[in-house]
Amino acid sequence: MQSPEPSRFRKRLEARRAGAPAEAMTDEDRQGLAAFESDIVAVTELLQDEIAAIGAGDLDRVGGLYERKAELLKRIELRMPVVELFLRDRLAGDDPLRARFAAFRAAVEEDSALLDRMSQATAEIVREIEKIRDRHSLNGLYGKSGQKLGEEAGAQRQIDKTI
């Protein structure tokens, strides 16, 4: 019976004890870094699609992109601790990678700002609808002079159903 393959952590610990640099990159690390970079590109493109959809007013498309965006961002979040150590060195000498990260950051900031404005606009609409409902509610009826009408007058009136 063969013993299981040692973990990446174990391999690094053994390499460090043997005098190798602690940041020695394994093939698995290279694959993880390549997958991380691929996810960054994919989420950047998806965010740009979402920004275009928001600009075009296609909110159904924006809603349809949510699951894919959440999945990609979760993968990036999970891979970040694994690749972070190597990413610093790569960013220092790789201009195209820095450009991809700059595009990613710009897309995140723009998308976040647009979604925040949409959220604020939606909240304003909800507040206005609540005001209209309250104005036409049964919380009290008021005459032309602003005086609250009595119960007997309220029974004779009908509710305005228009908004």
CB contact at 8 A, 142 and 149: yes
Which structure tokens are listed for 136? 């036409």
Per-residue pLDDT at 2 exceeds 50: yes
Q: Is the pLDDT of residue 153 over 50?
A: no
The closest of 15, 34, 14, 32 to 24, measured between CA atoms, is 15
Q: So what's the pLDDT on residue 40?
A: 93
User: What 3-state DSSP class applies to 142?
Assistant: strand
Task: Please report, rounded to a whole number, the percentage of residues in the chain having pLDDT higher than 70.
Answer: 72
What average pLDDT does the structure give for the chain?
A: 80
> How much is the pLDDT for 158?
61
Residue with tokens 């498309």: 61
Give the confidence band of 21 by pLDDT, cuts at 50, 70, 90. low
Burial of 62 (0-12, 13-18, 19+ CB in 10 A): buried
Continuous segment of H or E residues that includes residue 100 = helix 95-135
Residue 154 pLDDT > 60: no
What does the pLDDT look like over 54-91, one tens digit per residue? Answer: 999 898 998 899 999 999 999 999 888 878 877 877 77
Give the whole-angstrom CA distance, residue 38 versus residue 98: 14
Cα–Cα dist 80/89, whole Å = 14
CB atoms within 10 A of CB 155: 8
Mean pLDDT over 43-63 rounds to 92
Pick from 39-43, 47-51, 80-84: least confident: 80-84
For the residues 50-57, what does the mean pLDDT come to? 92
- Kindly state the tokens that stand for 110: 């723009």
User: Residue 140: pLDDT above 70?
Assistant: no
How far apart (Å, rounded) are the C-alpha atoms in residues 103 and 91?
14
Averaged pLDDT, 3-10: 66
